[in-house]
Chain A
Amino acid sequence: MRRYLQVVGAILWKDLRIELRTKDAFTSMAVFAVLALLIMNFAFELRVPEKSMVVPGVLWVAVAFAGVLGLGRAFVHEKDKGSLSGLMLAPVDRSAIYFGKMLANLIFILVVEVFILPLIVLFFNVPLISAPLLLILLLGTIGLAAVGTVFSALTVNTRAREVLLPVLLFPILLPVLVAGIRSTIGLLEGESLADLSNWLRLLVFFDVLFIVVAYLTFEYVVEE
């Protein structure tokens, strides 16, 4: 078990170090998320009585789109530089590679969220940030990273990789987006976490289910 965690940690640390040196994923995701906020501001400005009404949707759409952009990159350099074959040759459990990559993706998306949350408060003038919201965002992002990491490894081996990832990912991710948007609306309308327990349970269930499925299927995705 300890050795397993060391492998996960090594892969996570490798990805974080690459990111700290290149800042590739963060730059593209953060810029993209800000662009999404600006576009949605214009999309809703004239037609909605209060901007606060669209903020939950704006937040989750920005997170989902920026997330899929970052996830699409997760295996591209592994594949193109051949380092994926290197990882496969290492005498470690394939699922440890999954958890390492998944945690790295999770951290990248969380960092982007931390970056755009204050911007949403600023642009849309809504007091959005609260501890319950951060919990819901965390649960939703775990689901996004759990499924997205597997699909990123799938699509990197296909023609039309960038196009295929969102098409595969979004229909499966729908419960996460519905639960996330709905509980964000609830929080803005003054509901407590206890009122939203159904949605929280749905998010937790989604996360656990798909982490287990990913754990069981990942080796079939990367085997050559």
Chain B
Amino acid sequence: MNPSRRTVNVLNVVSLVAMMVAIYMATIQAPSATNIDESIRPAQRIIYFHVPSAWISMLAFFVTFVASVIYLRSKHVKWDILALCSAEIGILFTIAATASGSIWGKPAWNTWWTWDPRLTTYTIVLLLYIAYFMLRGAIEEPERRARFAAVYGIFAFLSVPLTFMSIRWWNTIHPVILDPNKGFGLGPGMASAFMIGILAFTILYVTLLANRLRVEWMVERVAALRERLLSA
């Protein structure tokens, strides 16, 4: 749970290469979409960053959820650190997904903002995890902070599908990429760029998480050293 300097360095390089490949695939390699109006074809390429960002934010919050459950069972601080670090990265990618969705919305739907289910759900998710950090910030004592954050992390993650369903039944204009009735909505060249994007972003997530975990363990170590110094 505390990655070594070597592991972090290797991951940094692997991520750099993977992201370069993903950017090349998305901007140059992938063919233009033919089933949409010509004026928005370049904008459509944002999907190669938008969908992976959305996927990573959900993965990150899922990791926070699982770490929270395990923390409550085991009370070991490493699970709290994992939950905290993953939630921070989740917030980052939630903002990325919301912003890139909004950038796609302007050319495609002629508005920066619509109350589309996914866009709205992501905004709620952002608020949920801002609240998660506000809760952490309002508790001084580390053990209680970890325990309360874990409880909230469980509630927050479980509410997301319900929020999504409720807004979806309210109204929808979002393109459905993974519609089980219609198959995959992307052509062959596009699908490979899409999958590479997902893979590259997943590697990026693991890298960011490893870096962040290392920093957090350093923070813990500094706190412990200071304690020892002051008591000596």
Contacts and interface: CB of A to CB of B under 8 A. Distances in A.
Interface of A: 147, 150-151, 154-155, 157-160, 164, 167-168, 171-172, 174-175, 178-179, 182, 198-199, 202, 205-206, 209-210, 213, 217, 220-221, 223
Contacts of B147: 220-221, 223
Nearest to A224: B144
A172 B134 contact: no
B134 A164 contact: yes
Interface string B122-159: 00100110010011001110001001101110111011
A55 B65 CA distance: 37
7 contacts: A154-B151, A154-B152, A157-B144, A158-B138, A167-B131, A202-B162, A213-B154
Contact of A221 (B138, B151, B167): B151
B138 A175 contact: no
Task: Determine chain B's interface SS by DSSP, over half rule.
Answer: helix
A209 B131 contact: no
A172 B148 contact: no
A57 to B, nearest CB: 13
B165 interface: yes
Contacts of A182: 166, 169-170
Contacts of A175: 159, 162-163, 165-166
A171 B135 contact: no
A202 B162 CA distance: 8
Contact of A174 (B151, B154, B163): B163
B77 to A, nearest CB: 15
B162 A171 contact: no
Contacts of A164: 131, 134-135, 138
The 9 A-B pairs at the shortest CB distance, nearest first, are namely A158-B138, A178-B166, A175-B162, A175-B166, A172-B159, A171-B128, A171-B127, A159-B138, A217-B151
